[in-house]
Amino acid sequence: MADYEELKNLAAAIQSIATAVSLVVGGFWVYRKYVRQLENLPHIESDAAINFIGEQNGFWIVEFEGIIENKGNVRHMIRKFDFDVNALFADDPIETSEEWGGQVHFPHKIIDGSFLPKKNDYFFIDPGVKAKFTFNGRVPNRTTMVVFHCWFEYVNQPGHTHTAEKTALVPHQDASSLSSSS
């Protein structure tokens, strides 16, 4: 009977060692995957595009596109996907702004909106998905250039935003009409 008890104790000891080793290996895997490789954090790329559709009744019809691509391995929930479009008119002085880090100031806000429908508090983007959100807006004919900004926040990381911007020349403008006469 002593042999059976010794065997039973040996099996219990092996099981305890195997459990401890499993915990160490599992902990190392979690550390490597989520802390060192940052798998649980966003691996998101954002971009913006401007597509001039056509001219009608003193306005350009323009498609503004916000693009989000999840290059990570985790689904991300996103809220507050907002945008604005600012314009520069032919008679505007070319000034820079500290608000924009010394970049050229586009003084006329012509569109202010959101890609997120009012009925939704958030949307999600799964791993490997590239999502495009569009807004069809109008730009006055007297506009020479536009800058389109878009930004979003994560549901679980308030205050952490991604931004994208695109600047474009309104197509009907040529180089000679943009220079001011002295």
Write the pLDDT tens digit of every residue in 87-135. 999 999 999 989 879 999 999 999 999 999 888 888 899 999 999 999 9
pLDDT value for 39: 58
Residues 10, 1: Cα–Cα separation, whole Å: 14
Q: Which residues of the chain have pLDDT under 70?
A: 1-2, 30-42, 173-182
Q: What is the CATH number that goes with domain 44-178?
A: 2.60.40.10
Q: Rg for the chain (alpha carbons), in Å?
A: 28
3 CB-near residues (< 8 Å, 6+ apart): none
Burial 76-98 (b: 16+ CB within 10 A, else e): bebbbbbbbbbbbeeebeeeeee
Phi (first) and psi of residue 141, to 5 degrees? -55, -30
Q: What is the pTM of this model?
A: 0.72
pLDDT value for 11: 79
